[in-house]
Amino acid sequence: MSSSGVLQAGGNITVDGTALWADILETAQIGGTPKGGVRRLTLTEEDRQVRAWFTAACTSLGCTVTHDSMGNQFARRPGRDAGLPPITMGSHLDTQPTGGKFDGIVGVLGGLAVLRALHASGHETRHPIELINWTNEEGSRFAPAMLSSGVFAGVFTEQEALDKTDRDGIRFGDALAAIGYRGEPPCGQHPVAAYFELHIEQGPILEAEEKTIGVVTGVQGMRWYEVTLTGRDSHAGTTPMPMRADALLAAARIIEAVSAVALAHGPDAVGTVGLLENRPNSRNVVPGEVFFTIDLRHPNDAVVVAMETDLRGRIEQIVTDAGIALAMERVWDSPAVHFDPTCIASVRAATESFGYPARDIVSGAGHDAAYMARVAPTTMIFVPCAGGLSHNEAESAEPGDVAAGANVLLRAVLDADARLNP
């Protein structure tokens, strides 16, 4: 596809990069941390506050804002043909416990910049244009990640999602009701013509290659596990080493095995233990129970399966040798995703129309777009982040790169508006 379709469809419109950057700095104050990051966990008071900010910002541009039964927010700008399904943009406003200013929210605020540009120019699209804030993308409070987009796409039932609990035993459904975002429209019964998601790369490739735009062709496969090891609490001073059932020692060996498995399955494989709870967590007690998580990822689903098989074998040997009881559950399985070629072409044409240096890229992280690809033509746009650092309070991006990503988002959406449902 040439860039001519983009240029004909409102190609002279661009986003206000200064206003976009100001939005990033303003929203970073909602849940802002002393180190300059953001702690805005799903369905907390901070989440409620940023949702209210989102609603006010979108309604000021003439949009109608609604939310569904999972709390997903939809800001709708009318099109000429109200009977057409909307072309959508989106991402998320929740963060990690020690998150940054850019993960997720760049996609929401970049979409807001698109709405602002359309509003300022008076450009009328054929389709309605919608901006979506997805609930609980991160999965840091309620696992798994991408929970509400997963319900939207039929990956999870709404009831199982509402019954998820955090580490304090609070139900997702109760927390959603507590902040006032349990909507009437059933999640998933919302038409979508296409979906575009802008995001920081969360990796080092674009910056290293001095590329402004990543044209995202898909998302790698990933699996999450929860593991509980049960040994025996005993006195640290009186229990001889050969007579211990040390759950933490076994966990340490499994953590090492996770790394070994990833290294054994090629340069694209990664494995992580990111959460660990040691019990009773006393300095003079041999640990009797350990809970931890495992995250395995690879662009090829067959390799993910091989990694799991390899790891399970190593874990079984470790716990057998240590005399430790094992409970291991796979809590999330997100297969590799291949994005829609026509949406990718719209992003590529938009990028070329601006002359931004770009490359094709596969996402190493999960995103709501991975589930949206099951129900609508979908793709993503990446912009660089400093050092590839993300899920960190020091997460950073350049204003010019963020504005460039929003400009590509704008023209890709306009191209899709001109092309879809003639």
- Does residue 2 carry a pLDDT above 80? no
- Kindly provide the residue ranges of all beta strands, DSSP E only, lying in 201-303, ordered along the sequence: 213-219, 221-230, 234-235, 270-272, 276-279, 285-286, 289-298
Measured distance CA(130)–CA(416) in Å, rounded: 13
Per-residue confidence (pLDDT) for residue 420, from 0 to 100? 87
List the structure tokens of 241: 């080493």
- Does residue 274 carry a pLDDT above 60? yes
Q: Give pLDDT tens digits for 201-236.
A: 999 999 999 999 999 999 999 999 999 999 999 999
Cis peptide before 280 (omega within 30 of 0): yes
Per-residue confidence (pLDDT) for residue 208, from 0 to 100? 97
Q: Which CATH class is domain 221-334?
A: alpha beta
Architecture of domain 4-220+336-419: 3-Layer(aba) Sandwich (3.40)
Question: What residues are designated binding site for Zn(2+)?
Answer: 92, 103, 138, 199, 391
Q: Which residues lie below 8 Å from residue 4, measured CB to CB, with a gap of 6+?
A: none
Per-residue confidence (pLDDT) for residue 3, from 0 to 100? 39
List the structure tokens of 55: 């609603």
Q: What band does 75 get if pLDDT is binned at 50, 70 and 90?
A: very high
Which single residue is written with the structure tokens 């379709």?
5
What residue ranges do the domains of the chain occupy? 4-220+336-419, 221-334
Question: What residues are designated binding site?
Answer: 92, 103, 138, 199, 391
Per-residue confidence (pLDDT) for residue 365, from 0 to 100? 86
Percentage with pLDDT > 90 across the chain: 95
Measured distance CA(286)–CA(229) in Å, rounded: 13
- The full length of the chain comes to 422
Per-residue confidence (pLDDT) for residue 4, from 0 to 100? 39
The amino acid occupying position 402 is V
- β-strand partners of 87: 129, 194
Q: Report pTM.
A: 0.84
